[in-house]
Amino acid sequence: MTVNIGKDRFPEGFVWGSATASFQVEGAAWTDGRGESIWDRFCRTPGKVAAGHTGDIACDHYHLWKQDISLMKDLGMQAYRFSTAWPRVIPGGRGPVNKAGLDFYDRLVDGLLEAGIVPFTTLFHWDLPQALQDEGGWVNRNIVEAFGVYAEQVVKRLGDRVKHWMTHNEIPCFIGLGYGNGPHAPGLDVSRKDLNRAYHNAFLSHGLAVRIVREFARKDAEVGLVNNPLIPVPLAETPAHLDAARKAFIRIGANLNEPIFKGAYAPWWLEEQGADAPDIRDGDMEIISSPTDFLGINVYSGVFVEPSEDPAGYRVLPFPKGYPNLALPWLKPVPQALYWCCRYYREAYGIRKSYITEAGCACEDERDESGRIIDLARVQWLRDHVREAHRAVRDGLGLAGFFQWSLLDNFEWAEGYLKRFGMVYVDYGTQERIPKESAYLYKEIIRTGMIV
């Protein structure tokens, strides 16, 4: 007897896929005219990336893309989210376009479509051309125009075939962790004023890219931002806790959500920033809040919240010692975060359609004597998260798809290759790909459209 037939079925058309990003998988860092990115430089700055790893070879996806498409096909993948590398397309950040770089993405898109896999393209997943960083990077407003030129090149080249576009991936990471004394490239610690400038420029360039997709991609194209909100989860699902968690969601994410989805920075937030508030020019807020078609949400964890007598109305609870976590300290499994972020975005910002553009976990994956990778922690993680995705669908929250991070083990930023997020194991010595046990479970979930 099959246990789950007819129950927990995902609707026809729900999109199942996996995601990667250019710097993390492509390799071929100095091939066919690609320019230097801030991550190439950062990897060569002593002490910044674990074990001195670089993106030079990564998963060699630049050369092995055909094989990787076959792998996706074998695993039943319906869609593939990848990013285009700015330094491959415009090596100097601004100036001449590198035809060979665009040709690569052209081949990739054609290959995907031939295999019946829908391409979802992200324009910026952190690999900023170093030449632009030398001018101040995201802190310098001139970057907005340069990003527009780059985005236009990509959209004009691929936009006849690519229907699904994402502007930026995780602005809080590439700005906050890159310029705010965090562990990411370019590894700066700028003033609060400059940090706010950098966010504002990233928001502007997002809005500009939305307009570029509208203008140059196929008429039925859809475009959105990918965000990674901190997700407050009600400790108990009672009205008082839900209310507290919603308040926390709005307050914690205000600096990004209010300008992008409401067209204005929150007055209390501006007041808090004082003289450090971003300089807003005429027309900025209209560009920043250009209407989008969907929101991409990356979900890795959440925080528990309870009601409080404080003026804020909520309290974020610390994780106690012994709360489980996967292979990184911040990877605390909170599967219901997936459901709640869809719900808050819908309730607080009227987001009608969303995709989980990333959800994943790093585990201590090892091949056993028979060569299998029995990643039971990821199996459990996957089932728990897909269940929450189903709950979001069932409650009519507009969730349209789920992309697992990542197709392959890959370059995990400051962790180098030491942390493995793939559904497929990569032997970096030989570039052999070996699907982990969880990949077979995912395949079966996709095939049946159910939580099996």
CB of 125 to ligand NOJ, least distance (A): 6
Binding test (CB under 6 A) with ligand NOJ, winner from 60, 68, 170, 365: 170
Q: Which two tokens stand for residue 309?
A: 């007598």
102 residue type, one letter? L
How far is Cα 51 from Cα 36, in angstroms, rounded to an integer?
20
CB of 412 to ligand NOJ, least distance (A): 5
Site for ligand NOJ in 129-148 (CB under 6 A): none
How far is Cα 361 from Cα 182, in angstroms, rounded to an integer?
21
How many Cβ atoms sit within 10 Å of the Cβ of residue 66?
Answer: 12
Site for ligand NOJ in 371-390 (CB under 6 A): none
CB of 271 to ligand NOJ, least distance (A): 31
Asked if 60 touches ligand NOJ (CB under 6 A), the answer is: no
The answer to whether the CB of 374 falls within 8 A of the CB of 368 is yes
Binding test (CB under 6 A) with ligand NOJ, winner from 54, 169, 289, 404: 169
Known active-site residue 444: no
209/242 with CB nearer ligand NOJ: 209
407/450 with CB nearer ligand NOJ: 407
The closest alpha carbon to 433, from 38, 66, 109, 142, belongs to 66
Does an H or E element contain 296, and which? strand 294-299
Binding mask of the shown chain, residues 337 to 366, with x at each position contacting ligand NOJ by CB under 6 A: ---------------------x--------
Q: Which of 26, 36, 258, 358 is catalytic?
A: 358
The answer to whether the CB of 25 falls within 8 A of the CB of 58 is yes
# chain residues binding ligand NOJ, by CB under 6 A:
9
Site for ligand NOJ in 281-340 (CB under 6 A): 298
Classify each residue of 306-326 as buried b or exposed e, where b means 16 or more C-beta atoms within 10 Å of its C-beta.
bbeeeeebbbbeeeeeeeeeb
CB of 300 to ligand NOJ, least distance (A): 6
24/289 with CB nearer ligand NOJ: 24
The angle that helices 61-74 and 99-114 make with each other, rounded to 10 degrees, is: 10
358/375 with CB nearer ligand NOJ: 358
Binding test (CB under 6 A) with ligand NOJ, winner from 15, 21, 89, 305: 21
Known active-site residue 369: no
The angle that helices 336-349 and 239-252 make with each other, rounded to 10 degrees, is: 70
338/451 with CB nearer ligand NOJ: 338
Q: Which two tokens stand for residue 211?
A: 């307009």
Q: Which of 26, 36, 170, 258 is catalytic?
A: 170
How far is Cα 41 from Cα 53, in angstroms, rounded to an integer?
12
334/450 with CB nearer ligand NOJ: 334
Strands of 87-187 (E only): list them. 118-124, 164-169
CB of 24 to ligand NOJ, least distance (A): 6
How far is Cα 132 from Cα 124, in angstroms, rounded to an integer?
14
Q: Is the bond preceding residue 83 a cis peptide, omega within 30 degrees? A: no
170/388 with CB nearer ligand NOJ: 170
CB of 205 to ligand NOJ, least distance (A): 17
Angle (nearest 5°) at CA 405 between 40 and 118: 100
How far is Cα 80 from Cα 319, in angstroms, rounded to an integer?
34
Separation in Å, CA 113 to CA 73, 78, 79, 105, 435: 11, 10, 10, 12, 22
Burial (CB count within 10 angstroms: exposed 0-12, middle 13-18, buried 19+), residue 350: exposed
Q: Which two tokens stand for residue 321?
A: 């010692």
Binding mask of the shown chain, residues 400 to 429, with x at each position contacting ligand NOJ by CB under 6 A: -----x------x--------x--------
CB of 356 to ligand NOJ, least distance (A): 12
CB of 297 to ligand NOJ, least distance (A): 11
24/354 with CB nearer ligand NOJ: 24
CB of 10 to ligand NOJ, least distance (A): 24
Q: Which two tokens stand for residue 260?
A: 């992008």
169/438 with CB nearer ligand NOJ: 169
Angle (nearest 5°) at CA 120 between 117 and 122: 150
* Positions in the binding site for ligand NOJ (CB under 6 A): 21, 24, 169-170, 298, 358, 405, 412, 421
Write out the catalytic residue numbers: 170, 358
